[in-house]
Structure 1
Amino acid sequence: MGDGLTDRQTAFRVWALPGIPEVREGDDLAKLIAASVGESGEPLEDGDVLVVTSKIVSKAEGRLVAADDREEAIDAETVRLVARRGPTRIVQNRQGFVMAAAGVDASNTAPGTVLLLPEDPDASARGVRAGLRELLGVEVGVVVTDTFGRPWRNGLTDVAIGAAGLRALEDRRGDVDPFGNELALTVTASADELAGAGDLVKGKVEQLPVAVVRGLAHLTTREDGPGARPVARDAASDMFRLGTSEAIREAVLQRRTVREFTDEPVDGAAVRRAVAAAVTAPAPHHTTPWRFVLVESAEARTRLLDSMLAAWRRDLAEIDGWDEERIARRTRRGDVLRGAPYLVVPCLVAGAEGGAHGYPDARRAAAEREMFVVAVGAAVENLLVTLAGEGLGSAWVSSTMFCRETVREVLALPEAWDPMGAIAVGRPAAPAKPRPARSADSFIEVR
């Protein structure tokens, strides 16, 4: 039996166990496997690894369920949609695996039934291991497998969904290669490699659901271990956890107005990537009626915001007629722009420079400007959603629209550039509060 210190072997054998009958609910898998071992004439040895197809585990555990509609069964086993293309769904299931159809299987089952994955594949592997220890007196590793597709690769392969008595991941970080280079990223998915090796000799059609791998005892452990769960990548480190359309929808839904930011500097390259997405927005006449001013220096932000504050105070005094005390109370409130480490000022460029058509009447000229304003709004939405995808919070604040001349002067903008608010950007200081449910129905009229 391996203990993690056994020397690495340079060869191994793998063979399928014959004679395992059709498995039914309540069957003892360890007894069926032990009987098959006896028929094979090749006794198990300490350090062997049993590779067991999850289908027979599910059947023994009563996971065969009536389901006239497989899609309903998939819905019941799904906790998160990852990607969809036509009827095909890649989802995260209740066991935490990302796979097609939540692992719901309609092959090799009676019509009107489907087979679900084991409720706890690691516990299933531990049970088979303990049963073989009791029946045959051997310490083996056990891998419970299922068939997965893989991103960027055609074809299916078996992978581990449950394990006991072996290290699902073999961490080689810190080892040194023959050239003296220290391995920094090498963590081998040993359980998946064992699953793939077993799948080469197992088969649905041949009804050979169990394989034995011998010669890799260095991968086995005396303890049951943490199972196959360490193989599943957690959400925080998964760069590809959503399909394209789902990622776009998720980014739109997760975009929230952030009013408090940390002091962490904002990566200007991330903002520029967001601007690149912004300028793909639709606009009239194939024009590009937007410009984005990136206010990156603290000095420029302070000068801009101080000038805007002075303009606001003048308006309150000269137009609204407020006294100094009331103005002080009003302008003392927290300023989301001043608390952000980065500002973006989107500008509308209409007129000839922006490509607007000239109209002799005010009605059509006003409509033309409105089209360009809508285009800027679409570009800003692209910007905000992309910033959210970059992990940055944002708040679109309209204040520059009340003192456009001031903003143009401070930022040295051309006369034709019309500041359309300012966007505060930064790392959110706290998680967003749950978004209240909002049905689209109340915003829809059908004719």
Structure 2
Amino acid sequence: MRDGALKGGEARQGAAATCEDAPDGDWGTEAAHGAPRYQVWAVSGIPEVAPGDDLGKLIAAAEPGLADGDVLLVTSKIVSKAEGRVVRAADREVAIDAETVRVVARRGAMRIVENRQGLVMAAAGVDASNTPSGMVLLLPEDPDGAARAIRDGLRDALGVNVGIVITDTFGRPWRTGLTDVAIGAAGVRVLDDLRGGTDAHGNPLTATVVATADELAAAGDLVKGKAAGRPVAVVRGLAHVVADDHGEGARAMVRPARDDMFRLGTSEAVREAVRQRRTVRAFTDEPVDPGVVRRAIALAVTAPTPHHAIPWRFVLLESEESRTRLLDAMRDKWIVDLRRDGKSEESIAKRVRRGDVLRNAPYLVVPCLVMDGSHTYGDARRDGAKREMFVVAAGAGVQNFLVALAGERLGSAWVSSTMFCRDVVREVLALPEEWDPMGAVAVGHPVEEPKPRPGRDVGAFVEVR
């Protein structure tokens, strides 16, 4: 048994250079051990790969005893290195953008995207591990094509018919931890379609399609290791998964858009996004990423508007100095107004304290209503209704903004305070006269998760005619 080999799922130790437990051809049969078995080991002796290297030749030199029916699990990083798919780490975000065709999910700096190969993964597969300092690797240009080239190279060098799986590390929805999966393949039956058959109890199988290539990739990762410098593993004893031709490749494992139940989210996901939006009044000291706020604004301005207008502006108070200056001026204005209204000093202090949610937030946003795109009807009644339309649109935009912030795991509180001293807000923030502040939104990381929202009877809010 080879160093680090796994046999039948059990880790073994030893230093023999060849398999001594069973003769070639007995792996995967019931003859020797009474049950199907396979062997998997990592290949040692593959040198550091450089652009232009022939991987087939390198693997053949390191593992000359390959046999027909073996499957090789090849880490995508050495394929990328051989292809020269290396860029400077400073250009990583630009590289991710270039490799991305669709952003699936985003939280903070983390992006889950669909890349040009159709794979949905973090950062489009752009990776800084096991690379020279200051550099990052892109995924292979054509993983299936790379697998075919390695397979052809091994056939030429050793005269063997083997399967090749190019692997990369994935996270998985609803599961913690990473595993290797197949991103390229040649000579391997990547999927085992069991539909139309029956299980051991005679029950019909109607939905079972086994991702054989992914199972092989995960088996190889158990012996390759992430930092051991062994980028290739061999599986022996599963010759039934090896084909004579190159086969359809791992691209066949990418679920087409028409079959993706989660591509546009689900009705429950939409409901959860709205429910997650809660008023948060206590924030930690953790700074807010301005890029996250801008992404939320990009969703805010997709709200419906009258007359194809653009009725929103969002003023971002990103410095403590700007927040303090505005809130101090607003407080002074409120105190003057409340005293003029005859309120007691105790009542005034209580009302002023309500503004603490804004003062304690690490980030403030002042949404403003503008009447761009509006026109005059000529009578007061219709012009009043026109403004109401724009106010409703502004509210829809702010609601989008709050929901988007919640999706980024940020808490928020929409406070009406700026509406009561619009002149002061415009003066302090140097805003145009036609901008109407529509409250202020406190933004930050919540101190604690909000308590469950009490249920409400929908029927109490509905009238049917």
TM-score (norm 2): 0.51
Please tell me whether residue 43 in structure 1 is matched to residue 33 in structure 2.
yes
Name 2:198's counterpart in structure 1: 108
Name 1:249's counterpart in structure 2: 271
Q: Give the gaps of 5 or more residues in structure 1.
A: 18-36, 51-90, 94-104, 118-145, 149-155, 179-185, 202-239
Q: Give the gaps of 5 or more residues in structure 2.
A: 1-6, 41-172, 176-194, 243-259
Could you say if the C-alpha distance between residues 174 and 252 of structure 1 is closer, same or farther in structure 2, counting changes exceeding 3 Å? same
Name 2:367's counterpart in structure 1: 346
Give the counterpart letter for 2:228 in structure 1.
D
Please tell me whether residue 279 in structure 1 is matched to residue 301 in structure 2.
yes
Name 2:291's counterpart in structure 1: 269
Give the counterpart letter for 2:431 in structure 1.
L
Report the Cα offset of residue 388 of structure 1.
1.2
- Say which of 342, 345, 355 aligns to 1:324: 345
1:148-195 per-position Cα deviation (integer Å, ceiling 9, x unaligned)? 6xxxxxxx55766xx9xx8985572333479xxxxxxx9x9x9xx999
Report the Cα offset of residue 408 of structure 1.
0.7
1:235-269 per-position Cα deviation (integer Å, ceiling 9, x unaligned)? xxxxx996533344322121111111111111001
Give the counterpart letter for 2:356 in structure 1.
D
- Say which of 388, 401, 406 aligns to 2:406: 388
Distance in 2 between residues matched to 1:45 and 1:115, nearest whole Å: 23
1:74-132 per-position Cα deviation (integer Å, ceiling 9, x unaligned)? xxxxxxxxxxxxxxxxx979xxxxxxxxxxx996379x977899xxxxxxxxxxxxxxx
Distance in 2 between residues matched to 1:300 and 1:245, nearest whole Å: 38
Could you say if the C-alpha distance between residues 328 and 295 of structure 1 is closer, same or farther in structure 2, counting changes exceeding 3 Å? same
- Say which of 212, 222, 241 aligns to 1:200: 241
CA RMSD for the aligned pairs?
Answer: 4.5
Report the Cα offset of residue 315 of structure 1.
1.9
Higher relative contact order (CA 8 A, sep 6+): 1
- Contact 1:313-1:327 at 8 Å conserved across structures: yes
SS of the residue corresponding to residue 360 of structure 1 reads coil
Report the Cα offset of residue 298 of structure 1.
0.2
Distance in 1 between residues matched to 2:261 and 2:15, nearest whole Å: 37
Could you say if the C-alpha distance between residues 199 and 271 of structure 1 is closer, same or farther in structure 2, counting changes exceeding 3 Å? farther
SS of the residue corresponding to residue 322 of structure 1 reads coil
Report the Cα offset of residue 335 of structure 1.
1.4
Could you say if the C-alpha distance between residues 106 and 421 of structure 1 is closer, same or farther in structure 2, counting changes exceeding 3 Å? farther
Name 1:215's counterpart in structure 2: none
Aligned ranges 1:290-305 → 2 under 5 Å: 290-305=312-327
- Contact 2:28-2:38 at 8 Å conserved across structures: no
SS of the residue corresponding to residue 443 of structure 2 reads strand
Distance in 2 between residues matched to 1:108 and 1:307, nearest whole Å: 75
Distance in 2 between residues matched to 1:326 and 1:287, nearest whole Å: 41
Report the Cα offset of residue 311 of structure 1.
1.4
- Say which of 377, 387, 392 aligns to 2:395: 377
Could you say if the C-alpha distance between residues 410 and 92 of structure 1 is closer, same or farther in structure 2, counting changes exceeding 3 Å? closer
Could you say if the C-alpha distance between residues 194 and 442 of structure 1 is closer, same or farther in structure 2, counting changes exceeding 3 Å? farther
Could you say if the C-alpha distance between residues 92 and 300 of structure 1 is closer, same or farther in structure 2, counting changes exceeding 3 Å? closer
Report the Cα offset of residue 442 of structure 1.
2.7
SS of the residue corresponding to residue 340 of structure 1 reads coil
Distance in 1 between residues matched to 2:28 and 2:13, nearest whole Å: 28
Distance in 2 between residues matched to 1:347 and 1:374, nearest whole Å: 12
1:355-407 per-position Cα deviation (integer Å, ceiling 9, x unaligned)? 11112111100110011111111111111111111121111111111111111
Distance in 2 between residues matched to 1:282 and 1:413, nearest whole Å: 24
SS of the residue corresponding to residue 330 of structure 1 reads helix
Distance in 2 between residues matched to 1:313 and 1:13, nearest whole Å: 90
Sequence identity percentage? 53
Distance in 1 between residues matched to 2:240 and 2:399, nearest whole Å: 48
Name 1:357's counterpart in structure 2: 375
Please tell me whether residue 174 in structure 1 is matched to residue 227 in structure 2.
yes
Name 2:76's counterpart in structure 1: none
Could you say if the C-alpha distance between residues 177 and 198 of structure 1 is closer, same or farther in structure 2, counting changes exceeding 3 Å? closer
Aligned ranges 1:8-23 → 2 under 5 Å: none
SS of the residue corresponding to residue 359 of structure 2 reads coil
Name 1:309's counterpart in structure 2: 331
Distance in 2 between residues matched to 1:10 and 1:379, nearest whole Å: 68
Moved more, 429-438 or 260-269: 429-438
Could you say if the C-alpha distance between residues 7 and 426 of structure 1 is closer, same or farther in structure 2, counting changes exceeding 3 Å? farther
